[in-house]
Amino acid sequence: MLNLVSTFEHSATEFPDKKAIVFQDKSFTFAQTAAMVNKVANALKAKGIQKGDKVALSCLNLPYFPMVYYGILKVGAVVVPLNVLLKGREIAYHLEDSEAKAYFCFQGVPDLPMAEEGFSGFNQVDGCEYFCVITADPAAPSPIEGVQTLGQLIAEAGITCDTELTSPEDTAVILYTSGTTGFPKGAELSHSSMTMNAIGSRHLFQLTPDDVHALVLPLFHSFGQTCQMNAGFSAGNTLVLIPKFTPDAVLAAIQNEGASIFAGVPTMYWAMLNYEDKEGVFDIDKIAGTLRIGVSGASSLPVEIIKGIEEKYKIPILEGYGLSETCPVATFSHLYKERKPGSIGTPIWGVEVDIFDKENKALLPGEVGEVVIRGHNVMKGYYNKPEATAEAFDGTTWFHTGDLGKKDEDGYFYIVDRVKDMIIRGGYNVYPREVEEVLLTHPDISLASVLGVPHGSHGEEIAAYIVPKEGADITEDRIIQWSKEQMAAYKYPRIVHLRETLPMTATGKILKKDLRAEIEGKQVK
């Protein structure tokens, strides 16, 4: 038996009275959290959820996320975490594609009506049988008439529950990831892969039971889920959950709760470096003495930011690389080895990384090619997409990342560029074709091409080049507003250019390289 829930349950046995979760003015011990996990598991069983069933979860960084996440795993079901910013039509796609039988969705906040969007998506999918809304107050009535709340669901459930036996290769989590061919694909991650990556992360960061995490990375994403939640719980750590990033919230978690570990994406470190405590709330010397390491991923952290953070907060910054398909960690810089600025480090234990040419032959140090990975961390495949899975491995045992990189003589790896057109905006992956397809549903848009443009704090911003239909009365601002209503906040284009034509090849393919050439060297602030 190997169930990913063991990363939490072992510590619940070892440290029952220790704080597992801190959220605002509330805290939950490992024993209290375990009781909630068991209540969720028992309630799922009562609803007929069985081993192998898919259960979707949309939730901010709240105590409910790990409670429901581990409850799903406990019955042997598969967790399908969804981005909290998705709109109804996008949620429906994920529920349909994953064949989810049940869906837990947080009620949301005034500017993010999650339950409204979630219920809309749920109602578009016949195969999803049960919808449960998670209310901020467990005792509160349902905000949607006729829909059961999590509090109501678990009210009569027992606080003890046996863990379902699962094999190492059974699927534990389906994480949706981007690609070059339109819509997201669900990477099937096994109990073994996810557990090994969590334990590997624990050793990478040299976690001890004394560590406390300032956890602001979204738990629906593999970075926060594996490197902090699963890794942290496996070490008996306390997680200070932060639903929305602000420098104030992170600094408060460090100063008030003694957080020793912070993980973030480059835009967060940029904000932490440039933050000015004008009211004198924080003791930076105390914070520097409490914080032990900073962890960065999602995209390359500029060297000047690394230097600034290390000087300001007196901590080493560890950079790594991975993808949802690799649970996510594949390479990382190590505390016991030289850290090379600009490098994503060396492969983690049990994982091989190499650089291949187009004929799948290994390249020499310094030569640029595609980054390929194999090891215990690699996905089983894309759920119900054998052709996409075959393409990702390209007839080899290596997962092909689509990223261009190189290695040096010491075995350190570097990301050079992306083969794919994928945009990374503020740490979120956005693939242009999906945005383009939504734009083309607008009655006044004839043609659309989407690409990323350099941005000062977000890394990239989303730009759309649009050809209106003849006689259409549309403006750039109105397209942006319409897009905002149709797509998740990290996806919709903030920059729109109206054109009479777009550059094309003889076969009608839009020449994005010509559009990029227009903006090359420019940076949006």
CA atoms within 13 A on the CB side of 16: 3
Which contiguous run of DSSP H or E holds residue 303? helix 303-313
Asked if the peptide bond before residue 328 counts as cis, ω within 30 degrees of 0, the response is yes
Q: Reading across the β-sheet that carries 381-382, which strands appear in turn?
A: 148-149, 130-134, 100-106, 54-58, 78-81, 171-177, 185-190, 381-382
Give residue 470's identity as a one-letter amino acid code.
E
Q: Look up the domain containing 448 and give its range.
A: 423-519
Summarised one tens digit per residue, pLDDT across range 177-201 is 854 446 899 999 999 999 999 999 9
Q: Does the pLDDT of residue 508 top 70, yes or no?
A: no
On whether the CB atoms of residues 331 and 344 are closer than 8 A, the answer is yes
The whole-angstrom separation of Cα 145 and Cα 161 is 31
Summarised one tens digit per residue, pLDDT across range 288-324 is 999 999 999 877 777 778 888 999 999 999 999 999 9
112, β-bridge pairs: 109
Helix (H), strand (E) counts: the chain = 17, 26
- Degrees to nearest 5, angle at CA 281 with 275 and 286: 85
User: Both 87 and 204 in a single domain?
Assistant: no
Tell me which residue of 182, 86, 109 sits closest to 492, measured CA to CA.
86
Higher pLDDT, 124 or 521: 124
Q: How confident is the model at residue 520 (pLDDT cuts 50, 70, 90)?
A: low
Q: What percent of the chain has pLDDT over 70?
A: 95
User: Both 259 and 315 in a single domain?
Assistant: yes
The answer as to whether 253 is a domain residue is yes
Tokens linked to 117: 């969007």
Tokens linked to 201: 């992360």
Higher pLDDT, 326 or 456: 326
Q: What percent of the chain has pLDDT over 90?
A: 76
Domain holding 286: CATH number? 3.40.50.12780
Tell me which residue of 223, 189, 224 sits closest to 378, measured CA to CA.
189
Give the pLDDT of residue 90.
Answer: 94
Tokens linked to 356: 């291949």
State pTM to two decimals: 0.85
How is the chain split among helix, strand and coil, in percent rounded to 5? 30, 25, 40
345, β-bridge pairs: 413
Looking at 203-207, 308-312, 453-457, which range is the least confident one? 453-457
Which contiguous run of DSSP H or E holds residue 489? none
- Degrees to nearest 5, angle at CA 373 with 368 and 378: 155
User: Both 343 and 373 in a single domain?
Assistant: yes
- Domain boundary (398, 418, 438) is at 418
The whole-angstrom separation of Cα 214 and Cα 125 is 36
User: Both 401 and 431 in a single domain?
Assistant: no
The whole-angstrom separation of Cα 469 and Cα 69 is 46
User: Both 130 and 264 in a single domain?
Assistant: no
Domain holding 484: CATH number? 3.30.300.30
Tokens linked to 241: 């959950």
Summarised one tens digit per residue, pLDDT across range 25-63 is 999 999 999 999 999 999 999 999 999 999 999 999 999
Give the pLDDT of residue 60.
Answer: 97
Split into its structural domains, the chain has a count of 3
User: Both 395 and 430 in a single domain?
Assistant: no
Beta 212-215 vs 238-241: how paired, if at all?
A: parallel
406, β-bridge pairs: 414
